[in-house]
Amino acid sequence: MSLPDKAFPVSWDQFHRDARALAWRLSGSGQTWSAIVCITRGGLVPAAIISRELDIRRIDTVSVASYHDYLSQGDMKVLKEINSEILETEGEGVLIVDDLTDTGKTAAIVRAMLPKAHFATVYAKPKGRPLVDTFITEVSQDTWIYFPWDMGFAYVEPIAKDTRG
């Protein structure tokens, strides 16, 4: 898998701060939500933090997957549907939560399921940003975000010793 040159590693502490900042921003909107629908898997962690901060107890998941590498994305497939009671609301009073919107393809599928929902992500890239109502940090499209649940501790060479070029 070929990855972009720009890397944005996010620690657990940083992600927690950013997810709480998202909750803070959402709390200031004056809107209240009856439920959260988190997009798995990345939306699970921010949804837990936001549900605590905003005291939202009703949480559901939707799972949308594509088999891809960084340069190409395959067909999108819904692996787990949203609860029918929430679907019937068309998303009114529902907060959709994800860690990141990248290309916007997953966001578009979930938006179509819940067109009246408020969509919030911790991070947004330019292609996906138009589909998001609230986010904390925008990163360039060619940046790869390394989330803390995808990383382990390892030695890193000093920049001066980097031989890539």
Output the known binding site.
Answer: 41-42, 98-106, 144-145
CB 77 within 8 A of CB 64: yes
Catalytic residue among 13, 18, 69, 98: 98
Catalytic residue among 13, 102, 133, 142: 102
Binding site for 5-phospho-alpha-D-ribose 1-diphosphate: residue ranges?
41-42, 98-106
- Supply the Cα-derived Rg of the chain in whole angstroms: 17
Contacts of 117 (CB under 8 A, 6+ apart): 37, 90, 91, 92, 94, 95, 96, 111
18 part of the active site: no
Catalytic residue among 13, 69, 75, 99: 99
150 part of the active site: no
Binding site for GMP: residue ranges?
102-106, 144-145
User: How many CB atoms are located within 10 Å of the residue 147 CB?
Assistant: 19
What letter does residue 127 receive in the DSSP assignment?
Answer: T
Q: Where are the alpha helices (DSSP H) in 34-83?
A: 44-54
Write out the E strands in 25-142: 35-40, 59-68, 73-80, 94-101, 118-124, 134-138
98 part of the active site: yes
The residues annotated with a catalytic role in the active site are 98-99, 102
